[in-house]
Amino acid sequence: MEAKVSIETARQKAELLAGGPVRLPHGFRLPFPASRSTAGPGAGWTSVVFSFGGTRTKKTISRDSGEFELASRDGRLSLTRSGNAFIDDVELVPTLMHAPYQAFVNIESKCVYDCKFCNSPRLTHDATKDLTDDRIVEMIMDASTKEGFQSVALTSAVTHSPSMTVRRMAGLVGRIRAELPNAPIGVEPYTTRPDEVDILRDAGADEIKLNIETFDRDIFEKVCGDMDLDHILHAINHAGEVFGRNKVCSNIIFGLGEDDENVLEGVTVLANMGAVATLRALRIDEMNSEALNDTLGKLEPVTAKRMLRLATEEKIILSRHKLSTLKFKTMCHACLSCDIVPFWDV
C-alpha cells in the first residue's frame, strides 16, 4: 500500500524528528498557544506542530537558538536548516489539548516508577498541574466544542498504584462517554492485571495503549526495573481480545542500545496479539540525559535513516498480519506528530 506522503516528505520529517529545536524568528507571534505537555516525548518543553507535504511533526521551539529556523515571508512560512532551505511551505497546526484534533490529557504526572527516559516525573510541580477529575472533564468538554475536535485520550503516570490510576481513569472515561457518546476515547494506562483492561473497556474506552517501552529484556530491567514486561504483554494479549484488532497499540522506544532485529521481533510479537507497535525514537534531553547515561552509558543518537528503515519494516510486518496504523482514531497513530508512522509516512 502506498504511503500518504512522498519519500522526500518522509525524509524531511525523519530529519526534523532526529534534529534539534526550531528557532522562531525575532518578534514572531504564534497564532495560538504553544503546547506545554507533561507527557510524551516533548514533556517539559514548549512545542509546536508543523504540517508540511501531508504529514506533521511536533517540535520543541526556541527563541534563542535551534538547528532549524522558521522563516516567515509575505505571509508564507518555511523551515530552514542552519540557514539553508529545508522545507518550503509549512503550516502551524494548533494542538487542541497536547495533540492536533485531540483532547489528550495527562491525568497524573507524579510517578512511583522511575523509567529512565521519561520526563514526566522530573517536571516541576508547576508544570504538572494537579488536575481534579471535575476540572479534567470540564477541559475536555470545552475542547469538544472547538473546531477540529475529533477524539479524546487519557494518559497517566502512576501516582499511588496502577490499580488506583486505572480506576480513576475508568471513572473519567465513564463520565466523558456519558457526555460525548460518539467521540472515540483512547486510554494509555500502566496495568498490572488483565481485569484492569476490562474495567477501562467496560467504562467506554475504544482504544488502548499499553507500552512495553522496549522488547529487549536486559534493557527493560535497567530502564523500567520496577515494572514487569510479562504483565504488560499479558495485558496486551488480553486487550487484543476485548478491544479487538487495530484497537491496541504499544510504544517500543528505540535508541536504548537494542538492535533492529529485537525491535522488529517486538513488533511481530505484538502483531501476533492484534496490537500495533508505536515505534518511537528515544529523545535525549537535559532532563533525562543523566539518568540514561548512568544506566545505559553513552548512547548513539537515533538517525533519520534508522527511523525510516524501522517504520518501513514495521509496515511489512503489519501488512502480513492485516493490521494498520490508519485505523486508529486516538493517540499517537492518529496524531502523527512524534514518529514516522507506517502506512502514512512510509
CA distances from 281 to 48, 278, 308, 310 (A): 18, 10, 11, 10
Q: In the numeric block, which cell numbers belong to residue 321?
A: 498480519
Binding status of residue 66 toward ligand SF4 by CB under 6 A: no
Residues 96-125 that bind ligand SF4 (CB under 6 A): 98-99, 104
Describe the chain by its helix, strand, coil percentages, rounded to 5: 35, 20, 40
The set of cell numbers assigned to 69 is: 529556523
Contact 10, 340 (CB under 8 A): yes
Q: Under the criterion CB under 6 A, does residue 58 sit at the interface with ligand SF4?
A: yes
Q: Which is nearer to ligand SF4, 105 or 219 (CB)?
A: 105
Query: Does 137 help bind ligand SF4 (rule: CB under 6 A)?
Result: no
Tell me the closest approach of the beta carbon of residue 98 to ligand SF4, in angstroms.
Answer: 6
Say if CB 42 and CB 326 are below 8 A apart. no
**Residues 69-98, mask of contacts with ligand SF4 (x by CB under 6 A):** -----------------------------x
Minimum CB distance to ligand SF4, residue 155 (Å): 8
Is residue 170 involved in binding ligand SF4 (CB under 6 A)? Answer: no
300-339 binders of ligand SF4 (CB under 6 A): 331-332, 335, 337-338
Per CB under 6 A, 276 contacts ligand SF4: no
Provide the edge-to-edge strand list for the sheet that holds 207-209.
Answer: 98-99, 102-106, 151-155, 185-188, 207-209, 248-254, 275-281
CA distances 320 to 1, 2, 313, 323, Å, are 12, 15, 11, 8
Question: Is the CB of residue 273 less than 8 Å from the CB of residue 237?
Answer: yes
Q: How far is the CB of 153 from ligand SF4 (least distance, A)?
A: 7
Q: Which is nearer to ligand SF4, 24 or 99 (CB)?
A: 99
Residues that bind ligand SF4 (CB under 6 A): 40-41, 58, 98-99, 104, 331-332, 335, 337-338
